[in-house]
Chain A
Amino acid sequence: MAYSEKVIDHYSNPKNVGTLDKSKTNVGTGLVGAPECGDVMRLQIEVDDASGVITDAKFKTFGCGSAIASSSLATEWLKGKTLDQAVAIDNMELVEELNLPPVKIHCSVLAEDAIKSAINDYRKKNGLEELVFEERIH
């Protein structure tokens, strides 16, 4: 199976690899997946409290090229979005943009989960109720 050019590009030149300061109240962290399953994503967002806009996003991913590309693309999309816009990102948008084959759809689902988990972490830190999402089977 050959990788799409976009996956190769994100894998070779990943955007926004790194770590934000977890202890800050305006940083939300999502850690999803499991080492046993072969992929773990950590996605972090930094939010401007006043406007609710995501000012920075970073990721680190243990996984295949498609998992790395999905998280790299997700961080690119998150920057500049409001939390409401970010929560609406659907995994199928990542699939389309990266031309992921069916066996790699779970990578995009994981990235969507990471976004939602980061948003909920931010909400929890700021005394907001956590959003409830439908359980998904990866």
Chain B
Amino acid sequence: MLKLPIYLDNNATTPMDPRVLEAMLPYFTEHFGNAASRNHPFGWQAEEAVDYAREQVAQLIGADPKEIIFTSGATEGDNLGIKGVFEMYASKGNHIITCTTEHKAVLDTCKHIERSGGEVTYLEVQPNGLINLQELEAAIKPTTILISIMYANNEIGVIQPMKEISAIARKHGVLLFTDGTQAVGKIPVDVNKDGIDIMAFTGHKMYGPKGIGALYVRRKNPRVKVTAQMDGGGHERGMRSGTLNVPGIVGLGKAAELCRLEMAEDAARLSKLRDKLEQSLVQLEEAYVNGTPDSRLPHVSNISFKYVEGEGLLMGFNKNIALSSGSACTSASLEPSYVLKALGLGDDLAHSSLRFGLGRFTTEDQIDYTIKAVSETVLKLREMSPLWEMFKEGIDLDSIEWAHH
């Protein structure tokens, strides 16, 4: 039976898997101990649970448990990873390379670094959403200490060539940080095969709880350290103080284990559904997929429907389907998606985009319903779009002098 409303905003957050909740529950009540309490069974139980979760998380990304630092989420991880390197390696240099399509948690952290005397190079991306490796290598200077390139993009789902990026970083003795938020748990991520030195990710994008995340910090070849951004009791090998969020950590561990075991099956099923959705929707005239289909997360699709506006489009079905748009109207700022603009899309196409993020609990009948609802709304809104009428009459919209406001 078709279940409404349909949630297709899994890049924003995922629902928690009931198996994760089940694993967490005892740690709120019975096993409430502080993992740092070394002298009694309450503390021992908590510590044991944390150790186990640390292994589960490490296993998902091919790391050693000692390389996992628990954080409050990916924003904290991005801050700790980037600022932590900037401070720890200040004697080596002050230059960081990142790219324009990163999440704000990375971009704003880099802005902070610039205000603190650092230098940041923001690489442009190609129209397919990927960075240009030659440009990356050319941007490296003697003062470069860190390359920060996200694993997969949150808006368009493109996967950056991590192995090639890390090879360049290694060659020049520069550390590689990646925001793995959208990739970890969805596609195989292996810190050793991928050559990642530091990586931030979070529970709530992988069917775990909100408010818990992890930072992977490499311990050998090379041994990496980051300067703590939170001072206190010296938890997490001194890199992140604060009493451990034991239920959250248990949940993150369980979520990581489920992702590791079910990733291949989930990805195969979701990429089929995503392809069905995408192939049906691009049957509509003037509909374009954003970001390269050749290197993309299996559950994400970003499509621009030219001549209709994204928020207007969402309104046609948002009682029953939860989606995001790159339209300015749906965000707090007045600008349309900077990620889509970075691909070279005009503001008009950025305003006309929808992001579909499928997830573990998405069903085929939900996708069928979505195809129908989105198609019908696009057609309906085009009937009332002056731009569509002009396009159909063969008028070049660029030839019109629009009154910008």
CA distance A40 to B389 in the complex (A): 12
Q: Are B346 and A36 in contact (CB under 8 A)?
A: yes
Q: Are A17 and B311 in contact (CB under 8 A)?
A: no
Please, which residues of chain B bring their CB within 8 A of the CB of A33? Answer: 402-403, 405
Closest CB of chain B to A14's CB: distance in Å?
Answer: 6
Interface size class of B (residues with CB under 8 A): 20 to 34
Interface of A is mostly: mixed
Q: Is B348 an interface residue (CB 8 A)?
A: yes
Q: Are B397 and A68 in contact (CB under 8 A)?
A: no
Closest CB of chain A to B16's CB: distance in Å?
Answer: 25
Q: Are A65 and B351 in contact (CB under 8 A)?
A: no
Q: Are A40 and B386 in contact (CB under 8 A)?
A: yes
Please, which residues of chain B bring their CB within 8 A of the CB of A59? Answer: 384
Q: Are A60 and B309 in contact (CB under 8 A)?
A: no
- Name which residue of chain A comes closest to B382, CB basis: A62
- Name which residue of chain A comes closest to B348, CB basis: A35
CA distance A120 to B309 in the complex (A): 27
Contact partner of B385 among A32, A62, A110, A138, CB < 8 A?
A: A62
Contact partner of A42 among B307, B383, B386, B403, CB < 8 A?
A: B386
Q: Is B175 an interface residue (CB 8 A)?
A: no
Q: A3-B315, A34-B404 are in contact. Are A62 and B327 (CB under 8 A)?
A: no
Q: Is B140 an interface residue (CB 8 A)?
A: no
Please, which residues of chain B bring their CB within 8 A of the CB of A60? Answer: 384-386, 389
Please, which residues of chain A bring their CB within 8 A of the CB of B351? Answer: 35-36, 38
Q: Are A40 and B387 in contact (CB under 8 A)?
A: yes
Q: Are A64 and B348 in contact (CB under 8 A)?
A: no
Q: Are B308 and A62 in contact (CB under 8 A)?
A: yes
CA distance A65 to B329 in the complex (A): 10
Please, which residues of chain A bring their CB within 8 A of the CB of B316? Answer: 11
Interface centre among B397, B400, B403, B404 (most CB of A within 10 A): B403
Q: Is B33 an interface residue (CB 8 A)?
A: no
Q: Is A48 an interface residue (CB 8 A)?
A: no
Residues of A33-80 contacting chain B, CB below 8 A:
33-42, 59-65, 67-68
Closest CB of chain A to B327's CB: distance in Å?
Answer: 6
CA distance A48 to B145 in the complex (A): 73
CA distance A73 to B353 in the complex (A): 27
Q: Are B386 and A32 in contact (CB under 8 A)?
A: no
- Name which residue of chain B comes closest to A41, CB basis: B386
CA distance A31 to B329 in the complex (A): 21
Contact partner of A35 among B328, B329, B347, B384, CB < 8 A?
A: B347
Contact partner of B387 among A11, A35, A37, A110, CB < 8 A?
A: A35
Closest CB of chain A to B9's CB: distance in Å?
Answer: 16
Q: Are B404 and A63 in contact (CB under 8 A)?
A: no
Q: Are A14 and B384 in contact (CB under 8 A)?
A: yes
Residues of B307-366 contacting chain A, CB below 8 A:
307-312, 315-316, 327-329, 336, 346-348, 351
CB within 8 Å of A: which residues of B? 307-312, 315-316, 327-329, 336, 346-348, 351, 383-389, 397, 400, 402-405
A sample of 5 cross-chain residue pairs with beta-carbon separation below 8 angstroms, ordered by A number, consists of A3-B315, A33-B402, A33-B405, A36-B347, A40-B387
